[in-house]
Amino acid sequence: MSRPETSHLFYQSRQRRPMLDQARGVYMWDVDGKRYLDGSSGAMVCNIGHSNPRVLGAMRKQMDKATFGYRLHFETEPAEFLAAKTASLAPEGLDKVFFVSGGSEAVESAIKLARQNAIAIGEAGRYKVISRDPSYHGCTLGALALTGYAPLADPFEPMMRVMPKIPAPRAYLDGLDPDDEATGRHYADMLEQKILAEDPETVLAFIVEPIGGASTGALVPPRGYMRRIREICSRYGILLIHDEVMSGGGRTGRFFAAEHWDVDPDILVISKGFAAGYAPLGAMVAHKDIVANVLDAGGFLHGFTYAGNPLACAAGLAVVEEIEREGLIRNAADTGALLKSELNKLMDRYSIIGDVRGEGLLLAFELVEDRATQQPLAKELNAFNELVDIAYENGLIIYSRRTRGGHSGDHFLIAPPMISTADHVGEIIEGLDLSLRQFLDRISQ
Ligand code: PLP
């Protein structure tokens, strides 16, 4: 069958990608039989690998019963059990789970719940949600207003109320030591300064990716940062929202990334790895007191038709059970440590690698012109597309973004599924080594 002209792609097709045929474990095959190692789990989604038979079995079982039950007509077992399971994994007190179908919807839900809570407790003057730059919180207008990535947001500025931003704590760019408490304090105190500048009585919440995703390239906060952020939010009566859309679900070596610092938010959001690509699913998980305030004041003015879809929830429940049964969080920590040390060895050999960072299997490296100054590669080199395309030709899928305000700086996320082994790490490093050599050859011509 010949391929029809594309009518569903809404981006410039530099190069149409091959048609996917099938995917199993960490590998994917196109219709010509070429094999790819999924070194980024899609977009950091397919955490337990592709075509897991137990998850597919659980979904088939649910499909034979019912694939839809509208939330105002029925409750469903998969939604109830998954909500209970999620609450049991979430920090103390965060036991109310609001299902959605993706990350942007989860973020929208979090900021609207926070706003309704403020009104319910007589603090209607609070509406500003401070976020960081760079950051990514989604592409719907509410989430976009928080996203610190100007090229995505600028065209829509007249249509939304852009929210205040503070710099993300990129110590490696500022020449600061991330292991020094003073560095964490330096960046966290920017939040307090921003709150004071905006008028504390108008600030509703602060949203943060505990370990950064595509926007910062797996940025791990400096020592003491997360705890001080929590203290500052509590001091001013501001809700702390953790965006764990990418970092949640185990890939950093903890189910929620914030567990690395033992810091609890008031609301958290999760999506990508939650149903790990088996179905569109996300959730907002909120502290029971916040939900009680909103319900007592008349109810949450928010909801989506597909929320709590039983098929998606059956997939999510089976994914979480698979993670526990197979010890995949431990594996993400161990295999991630091995992969990071191998990436560091690559950095020793390639001076264009300016930084290697991340935790567990949410890792990234950044390409630079000069490691000492962290000067980015020339924009014309288009490194963030070129290296991805070369790796793709070599059968390795990686994920890239241009950072630093979206105008320069190229980083690459290396985030294979949590089922990855030492052999897969070897294959990834071999593929990267070859691809970096070919990239260097290309730019030296
Ligand atoms: N928040 C974070 C941290 C993300 O990484 C993403 C997506 O990449 C989103 C929110 C938005 O999720 P979605 O694309 O499912 O709407």
The best mutation among 109, 241, 272 to test binding of ligand 1, ranked by most ligand atoms within 8 Å of the C-beta, falls on: 272
> 229 C-alpha to center of ligand 1: Å?
22
Asked if 154 contacts 161 with a C-beta cutoff of 8 angstroms, the reply is no
Residues in contact with ligand 1 (CB, 6 Å cut-off): 102-104, 107, 136-138, 209, 213-214, 243, 245-246, 271
Q: What is the pTM of this model?
A: 0.97
State the virtual CA torsion across 267, 273, 278, 284 in degrees, nearest 10.
0
Top CATH class of 56-325 equals: alpha beta
> 271 C-alpha to center of ligand 1: Å?
8
Max CA distance (Å), the chain: 67
The atom of ligand 1 lying closest to the CA of 213 is 5
> 337 C-alpha to center of ligand 1: Å?
25
How is the chain split into domains, by residue range?
A: 20-51+328-444, 56-325
Q: Which of 360, 398, 338, 98 is nearest to 250 (CA)?
A: 360
- Residue 252 in tokens: 């950093």
Query: Which protein residue has the closest C-alpha to ligand 1 atom 13?
Result: 103
> 110 C-alpha to center of ligand 1: Å?
13
> 162 C-alpha to center of ligand 1: Å?
18
> 385 C-alpha to center of ligand 1: Å?
20
Please list the ranges in the chain whose pLDDT falls under 70. Answer: 1, 5-6, 11-15, 403-409
Asked if 275 contacts 281 with a C-beta cutoff of 8 angstroms, the reply is yes
The atom of ligand 1 lying closest to the CA of 243 is 3
- Residue 6 in tokens: 């594309």
Identify each DSSP E strand in 86-234 by its residue range.
96-100, 128-133, 165-167, 203-208
The 10 Å Cβ neighbour count of residue 185 is 14
The atom of ligand 1 lying closest to the CA of 271 is 15
| Model pLDDT, residue 407 | 44
> 103 C-alpha to center of ligand 1: Å?
4
| Model pLDDT, residue 322 | 98
> 104 C-alpha to center of ligand 1: Å?
6
Query: Which protein residue has the closest C-alpha to ligand 1 atom 12?
Result: 103
Give the Å distances, CA to CA, from 227 to 132, 200, 245: 16, 19, 20
The atom of ligand 1 lying closest to the CA of 244 is 3
| Model pLDDT, residue 403 | 64
The best mutation among 137, 152, 281 to test binding of ligand 1, ranked by most ligand atoms within 8 Å of the C-beta, falls on: 137
Was domain 20-51+328-444 assigned CATH 3.30.70.580?
A: no
The best mutation among 45, 99, 104 to test binding of ligand 1, ranked by most ligand atoms within 8 Å of the C-beta, falls on: 104
Query: Which protein residue has the closest C-alpha to ligand 1 atom 5?
Result: 246
**DSSP code, position 294:** H
ipTM over 0.95: yes
Cα atoms found within 13 Å of the Cα of residue 178, Cβ hemisphere only: 14
Tell me the torsion sign for CA atoms 45, 49, 51, 56.
Answer: negative
> 141 C-alpha to center of ligand 1: Å?
13
CA distance 272 to 209: 14
The atom of ligand 1 lying closest to the CA of 102 is 15
